[in-house]
């Protein structure tokens, strides 16, 4: 029997819009777009790197609640509205995913408001971080 778990972080937008922060279907975990706003204090850093750090704290908290962690991430979709902010966001991304190497998609696209510098959508597979990995290098 398939097990489904649904996580709410009690963010205002989740409650207003009736969606969840994460859904796990068996060992697959899907995280909704997550920004760099502290869900408890509603504060958000003004700079892209600070927002990226808070965004990852939010992601890590959601994954932990689902019995997972960053090591289990297999796909990340990152949206950064301002191309000038991409290097700062990528530096945080590189630090958080060192050795994990998830599939990454990076786009410059508008977000919910001008104060948002970065958002990330995550797909994880519980246990992927402890699985045997075969690394393949090829020139494409």
Domain limits, the chain: 4-130
Non-local CB neighbours of 1 within 8 Å, separated by 6+ positions: none
Is-contact 71 100, C-beta < 8 A? yes
Q: Would the pTM count as exceeding 0.75?
A: yes
Buried (b) or exposed (e) across 18-28, using 16+ Cβ within 10 A?
Answer: eeebbbbeeee
- Structure confidence by residue, pLDDT tens digits, 80-136: 999 999 999 999 999 999 999 999 999 999 998 999 999 999 999 999 999 999 989
Predicted confidence band of residue 140 (pLDDT cuts 50, 70, 90):
confident
Dihedral class, residue 41 (left if φ above 0, else alpha if ψ from -120 to 50, else beta): alpha
pLDDT in tens, 25-54: 999 999 999 999 998 899 999 999 999 999
**What per-residue confidence (pLDDT) applies to 39?**
85
Domain 4-130, what fold?
Answer: 60s Ribosomal Protein L30; Chain: A; (3.30.1330)
Q: Say if CB 117 and CB 80 are below 8 A apart.
A: yes
């Amino acid at each position: 029997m398939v097990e489904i778990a649904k996580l709410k972080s009690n963010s205002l937008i989740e409650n207003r819009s009736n969606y969840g922060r994460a859904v796990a279907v068996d060992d697959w975990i899907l995280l909704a777009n997550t920004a760099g706003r502290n869900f408890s204090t509603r504060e958000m850093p003004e700079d892209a790197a600070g927002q990226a750090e808070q965004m990852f704290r939010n992601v890590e908290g959601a994954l932990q609640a689902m019995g997972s962690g960053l090591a289990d991430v297999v796909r990340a979709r990152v949206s950064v509205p301002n191309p000038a902010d991409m290097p700062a966001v990528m530096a945080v991304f590189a630090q958080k995913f060192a050795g994990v190497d998830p599939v990454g998609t990076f786009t410059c696209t508008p977000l919910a408001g001008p104060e948002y510098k970065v958002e990330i959508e995550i797909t994880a597979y519980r246990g992927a971080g402890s699985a045997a990995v075969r690394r393949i290098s090829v020139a494409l």
